[in-house]
Each structure stands twice: as structure tokens, then as C-alpha cells.
Amino acid sequence: MQERFQLQMNGQELQTSDLNMISKAASLADDRVFAELLRMAPYTGSAYAKGIIPAGYANTPLPTVQAGTGSVTINTFRAVVGSRNLAATSPADNWQDIRSAVFTGATALPATQALAANASGNPRWDLVYATFTLEANGNSFTRYMKDVLSRVVTAQSLITTVKNVVTIGVVQGTAAASPVWPSLPVDTVQPDGRGLFYIPLAYVRVPNGFTSGSAVATNDIATVAPCLSLSRVLGGNTASWVNAGTATTAQQGAWGSSGTPPQLYASSAATGIETRLIAINLITGSESHTNGGIVDASQDWRGRLTRYTATAGTNASQFAWANPGVNITPIYTKAGVTGFGHTFITGTVGAAAYVDYNSFTQMTNGTSVRIFADNTTGALKVDWSGGAPNCLLIFAIDFFAPMR
């Protein structure tokens, strides 16, 4: 527990520092929790740790910066700034004094950020960024105040609150045949730790001829936001791409010129992994799913790479959990298969997981089964070809975060 104010008896003197301590302890309660969960790097005197907890809720991930018409949509996120005190000044604050604030639109969760038109004859890159203002002054109110010496009471206009504020800004880049990403504004920090902290969200390609009626293409958004996740010290297990959200100057120019992202570019928001266990009975006459039927519609499963393990059986009793105590050979003793898949397309080659007779002799010769994401709804489905597989299947599928 941190130091707290203690009132020992009625009639005790109360000073402004006492009230400020109470207010600080209350207002920083959630940030103290985030400090333990995120374990951001302490300030070393060179750079401040910054990041966002990206958009999304329940089983619905959302892009922080999303394509719009003549603009981009900024979905709700929490901006976080790490400690700003050196350990020599305050070891406790150096370790845990992070600050955060939630960004929302004025009247709805998302906000719209317009992009300037481009009639230059060349494309350009614009940087959409967040400005985190630490302890900005709140509104002024009239308060009656008694002078401690004269005891005269007067009405004065006083600022009674401070707050953390997150706003969105745009750095308009320079149009060129091979445009490059513009620079992020430089943080301005006061000695007491207050100031302006800038967090990049995404670079947006603005082609020549762009107007307020032009649609922003999904491939014209390069997400670069530093996305935070649960610290591995506390058991967090996060999958992320190496060098995500980065592109060389040459790649920026080529992408800006053509509108085609580099083949190996990955969004910085592509972090995290979800595992789904799927049991399917395709024994003829007792099928658990129809051909093309939904397996899971809890979220949008499109746009992901997958890693899967599968195994097969031939007896309806081999789902071991369904027949406890029965003397059978469970399905988990059978041979398995592993592989990588994807849900970028639905066609015959688009599969989160795929098995066939060459994978398992328990399947009917010539048959195959796949788990895929419907391109229209994003629902996870199963289908098979070559006839009835006449088997049991269990899949364990790791779904990596959506790429873009």
C-alpha cells in the first residue's frame, strides 16, 4: 500500500497537500493496476515508454485506424505513457508512475479524422498520431476564498481539476513520386513530468486526386502504433511479428508510389493469439455439422494466419470426454498432423486447417476436410469434399491476430 492520508482526530488542521494526496491516490488507482500488468520500461533519461492498448472489446478486435471516405476512423483506445522520473529522484515513481487516458469521439466511441485533399500530381504519406497531454488544466469555476491573513472572503476564478487528455493529429507528408513517412512531433516535457507526449498510430497513403469523397483503401494504411500487452513476467503469452510496423525508406517510397504494401510488412497491431478446440463428428448418419456449416461465429476470423494440430478416429465413442469410464481407445492416441494455414480467402486453398486421407487413414479414401472463414461474414465453417469422410476429427487451431 502506498502512503495515504490519515486524519487522527476531529478538529485537525487540513492543508492543500493533504487533499491533493487523497485526490492523487484516488485518481491513480487504475494506472497503478496498469503499471503492474504492463510493466513498461522505467525511464532512463533518454526516452519515455509509450504505447496504446488498442481498440476492441470481448471477441471483437478493431483496427485503431480504419479506412473511411475522405478520412479515417479512429476507434477507441487507451494511451499509456511510462514513468518520467529517474530512479535517483524517486525510485518508486521510476518503477510505477505511468499515466493513461482513454480516447473516444465527442458523441460516439469512434471519431472521424479528415485527411487533406491532394492535387499535387504525386502521392503522399500522412501520419495520424495521438497527443497525450499529461495533467492538462480542467475548466475554471468560481470559488469563494478566504485570505489566510486578512480573513477577507472574495470570489475567484479557479481551476479545480487536472486531467489527462488524448487528441488526434495529422502530420501531412510531402508529396513525391516515391514519398516517405513524415516524422512524429517531439515530446515536450516539463521538469515536473507534465507535458505533451506523441504516439504514432498509422501512416496513411493519400494518392494524387484524393478528395473528401475519395475512399481510403485498406492497403493504404500502415499501422505502426506501439501496442501494449500483458507482461510476460505475469504470465502473458503474446505472439507478435518481428519488426512489425517498420518499413525501409525504399519500401515506403515503393508502397507510396504503387499502393501495394511490401510482401513481408506486418501491422504493429498484429499481436496476440487465440486457440480454439474444435471437435467434429463426420461419421455417416451421426454428423455433428452440415457440409459448409458454421463452427464458430463468435467473432470475425478473417485475415489471419493459423497454426493447427489435428487428429482423427473412427468410432463415435472415441471422444473420450463424452464417455468417461468406458473401456475404449480414445482419439488422442491416434496419429496427428500439424501445419500452418490462413483465412485470407475462402477459395479452395483458403483454410485455417486442412486434412485429407493422406493425413489420416481413418478417413474415407479420397476425402478431405477443411476449417475456413467465410469471406462475407467472417464466421468459421467446415466443409468436406470427395464424399463422406466417415470419421471423427479434433482440431486445435491457433489464430494469430488479424494482419490488416
Measuring CA to CA, which residue among 3, 11, 163, 190 is closest to residue 99?
163
Measuring CA to CA, which residue among 119, 118, 110 is closest to residue 205?
118
Count, residues in the chain? 404
Query: Phi/psi at 152 (nearest 5 deg)?
Result: -85, 135
Measuring CA to CA, which residue among 193, 198, 231 is closest to residue 83?
193
Instruction: Note the pLDDT of residue 4.
Output: 67
Query: Phi/psi at 9 (nearest 5 deg)?
Result: -160, 155
Buried b (16+ CB within 10 A) or exposed e, 334-347: beebeeebbbbeee
Strands 111-114 and 99-103: unpaired
Query: Phi/psi at 251 (nearest 5 deg)?
Result: -70, -40
Instruction: Note the pLDDT of residue 382.
Output: 96
- Which set of grid coordinates corresponds to residue 167? 487528441
Can you tell me the distance from the alpha carbon of 274 to that of 26, in angstroms, rounded to the nearest whole number? Answer: 35
Cα distances (angstroms) measured from residue 44 to each of 47, 95, 303, 357: 7, 11, 38, 58
Can you tell me the distance from the alpha carbon of 216 to that of 205, in angstroms, rounded to the nearest whole number? Answer: 8
Instruction: Note the pLDDT of residue 325.
Output: 63
111, 102 Cβ separation under 8 angstroms: no
- Which set of grid coordinates corresponds to residue 257? 508510389
How would you write the pLDDT of the chain (404 residues) with one tens digit per residue?
A: 566 667 677 877 777 777 777 667 677 788 888 889 999 999 999 889 999 999 887 777 788 999 999 999 999 999 999 999 899 988 988 888 899 999 999 999 999 999 999 999 999 999 999 999 998 887 888 888 888 888 898 998 877 777 899 999 999 999 999 999 999 999 998 888 889 999 999 999 999 999 999 999 999 999 999 999 888 888 777 888 888 899 999 999 999 999 999 988 989 988 888 899 999 999 999 999 999 999 999 988 998 999 999 999 888 777 877 766 666 666 766 668 899 999 988 666 689 999 999 988 889 999 999 999 998 999 999 999 999 999 999 999 999 988 76
Instruction: Note the pLDDT of residue 241.
Output: 86
Kindly tell me the sign of the dihedral angle through the C-alpha atoms of 48, 38, 226, 161: negative
Q: What is the pTM of this model?
A: 0.85
